[in-house]
A and B are shown apart, each in its own frame.
Chain A
Amino acid sequence: MSDTATRPLPVGHYTYDQVDHDFLRARVEQFRDQVARRISGELSEDEFKPLRLMNGLYHQLHAYMLRVAVPYGTMDARQVRMLAHIARTYDRDYGHFTTRQNIQFNWIRLEDTPEILEQLASVEMHAIQTSGNCIRNVTSDEFAGAAADELVDPRVHAEILRQWSTLHPEFTFLPRKFKIAISGSPHDRVAARFHDIGVVAKPGPDGAVRFEVFVGGGMGRTPIVGVRIHDHLPEEDLLAYLEAILRVYNAYGRRDNIYKARIKILVQALGLDAFREKVEAEFAAMDRARYRLTPETVAAIRARFGTPDLIAPADAPAKLAADRAANPHFDRWARTNTHPHRAPGFICVAVSVKPAGGIPGDATSHQIDALADIAERFSFDELRVTHMQNIVFGHVRQDELLALWHALGEAGLATPNLGLIGDIIACPGLDYCALANARSIPIAQKISARFADPTLQEQIGRIHVNISGCINACGHHHAGHIGILGVDKKGEEFFQITLGGSAEDDAAIGQIIGPALPEDATVDAVARLIETYLTLRQEGERFLDTYRRLGQAPFKDSVYATA
């Protein structure tokens, strides 16, 4: 293996060596060739489509959209600055962080894409398999390697899955897209049960890593909570077992109807037992030595991850306590936007990319550059994109939190609403997407503006509001405590409300409460749902808890009862 890197390895993600760079360059050249063949007419649009999709290039309502992969959501400052550069140079000066921990650019010209991919490749980034009927970018826990409750750092295995799935010869033309998430914490922050495959790493009895494997979850038109297909998969069998699952899917998944083509439909059609039997038969027949994930392989990939030197001054917690006591605004933000770190004197920071009245997940090139600067200054040069479309700084010294908060404030990124009602997930909707029935962004902005008061937000407490502009559910409305789905009623945009969904350990699919409403009436309905909750809640209950205790009736009445 050759290695030209002379600087220390970046913290938090795999570092390319020369072979990886050469591979990516060859991939960029391949795409340049494909674009040239398309422009010359040698490739039809139908033939070009899956090729551009496999490089993250969509054709949307108004322009091409390029979705750039952020493996397990983690980037270093150099990579983040490249994204800002792309936003400035090739787009309209902003980018959009997605629920798959990626970033997408909405106003891209086809002829610029080879050059953009070449620039991304220079910082070890790409758009490979961010769309198309293949294994998509592998997502992971935004607090990986930092969270106090973590049992196994999932990023090394996320990287192994990224490499294994990259241009996989057998699984690049599947019946439909295929999403894998991996976590190493007992608290599910990756929505493992809403993925085609969800993997939860845990230490086995012998200390070696084992995996719990969930299969057949997903949102979309047919929301299904995934089922556990394996409880204690040994590390060495991780790739073999996933190959077995994918082979069964590739051979038997439906190809006659794209709405019935996801693995969840196959698992439902066969039943878990019959599906597992097929997977086990394939697994038993495989040449397992060939697919074995050896400890040496794991160690080799792990060795290309930089690790942070987590040393904080002994008085860091005391300094933070004093800073919080002295500034109520900072204190509020610290209360909502941080997460416990495993190391003494450190803390994880979650930055809201959801300002009151703003567009969820959108950041300007100036803000993206500011995030890079802050990562460099305060968090070992590393940041993570979250599946909530926010940003996490994994390793921040507690005595430096106040300075970080000031820096965020200067960039307009200090909104104290993480996990609160302003932290809305919304898909791009009819403003961008050719599939949408309704605009998701304006209603998200109205709800966010309606509840802008941070005191009110904190009083309402933890709640997930998810908005999708159509039944394909990119805003994960099924998993929202309050879900909002855009529908088309005779050419008018209406919104259907669901309640009681969750993407976490208590995964559940939200239930529709009644007829769809126009946009402003929907915003009013959300306000009434919240009032009802505030009136009826018991001590310590989240919105979801009160809903589960009382059922739909009082909430439904509050929305539909005529005055």
Chain B
Amino acid sequence: MPLLESGVLAADPWRPAAEDEPIGAGDVIVPLARLDEGLARSDPGRLGVLLPPEAEPSALRAALPGLSLIAVTFPIFRDGRAFTQARTLREHLGFTGEIRATGKPLPDQYEFLRRCGVTTVEVPEGTDPAPWAREHARFDVAYQPSILNETREGFALRRIPG
């Protein structure tokens, strides 16, 4: 599926692990249930994991050194648990790898996603990237601290979202 990064379409080196098959080589995203299997893999490729919305991010604590990507999910765009998961991964667990939003987020949520620590967004085939690019550039100011190290706008709580 197409991938957005910094408001534009980007190449996706990752593939999801196929069901009922060995994880295989290369950069692979495994379901949470197969995390141990992925970590035990001898392949030099990178490992990612899919964190379902009901899972505790802290369940990944021990595995973090072996993870390059964590995918969070929006089963529907109104289900905002992934915002808190992403922020928790960055703020409490110090995860510095890629956080990918999957499922059904909307372009109108793009700034929220990025300010909670999401770096890439997986969108359905045929998605028009233009609304995502527009939302990426929409606001010059935000009114609260986020977990990004944003520049202060100079007044009160305001920040300049990157």
Contact = CB atoms under 8 A, between A and B. Distances in A.
A297 B157 contact: yes
Contacts of A19: 140-141, 153, 155, 158
Interface string B118-162: 000000000000010011001111111111000001111110000
B78 A50 contact: yes
Contacts of B32: none
A290 B147 contact: yes
B45 interface: no
Size class of the contact patch on chain B: 35 or more
B144 A164 contact: yes
Given A169-B146, A290-B147, A250 B78 contact: no
Contact of B156 (A47, A171, A301): A301
A167 B157 contact: no
A471 interface: no
A23 B141 contact: yes
Contacts of A173: 77-80, 83, 109, 112
Q: Which secondary structure characterizes the binding site on chain A?
A: helix
Contact of A286 (B91, B111, B153, B158): B91
A33 interface: yes
B100 interface: no
Contact of A164 (B111, B135, B138, B157): B157
Nearest to B87: A170
A22 B140 CA distance: 8
B49 to A, nearest CB: 18
Contacts of A286: 91-92
Interface in A46-78: 47, 50-51
A167 B142 contact: yes
A33 B130 CA distance: 12
Interface in A128-160: 133, 160
A163 B155 contact: no
Nearest to A175: B80
A22 B79 CA distance: 30
A163 B140 contact: no
B155 A1 contact: yes
Interface in B105-123: 106, 108-109, 111-116
A476 to B, nearest CB: 27
B96 interface: no
A239 interface: yes
Contacts of A300: 155-156
B102 to A, nearest CB: 16
Contacts of B88: 247
B115 A169 contact: yes
A47 B106 contact: yes
A26 B144 contact: no
A26 B155 contact: no
Most-contacted residue by chain B among A27, A170, A172, A174 (CB, 10 A): A170
Given A170-B87, A247-B87, A251-B81, 12 more contacts: A1-B154, A19-B153, A23-B141, A47-B106, A163-B157, A166-B144, A169-B113, A169-B115, A169-B144, A170-B112, A173-B78, A247-B84
Interface of B: 77-81, 83-85, 87-88, 91-92, 106, 108-109, 111-116, 131, 134-135, 138-147, 153-158
22 contacts: A17-B155, A23-B139, A27-B139, A30-B108, A51-B106, A163-B143, A163-B144, A163-B157, A164-B157, A167-B142, A168-B144, A169-B144, A170-B87, A170-B116, A171-B80, A172-B112, A173-B83, A239-B157, A247-B84, A251-B85, A255-B81, A297-B157
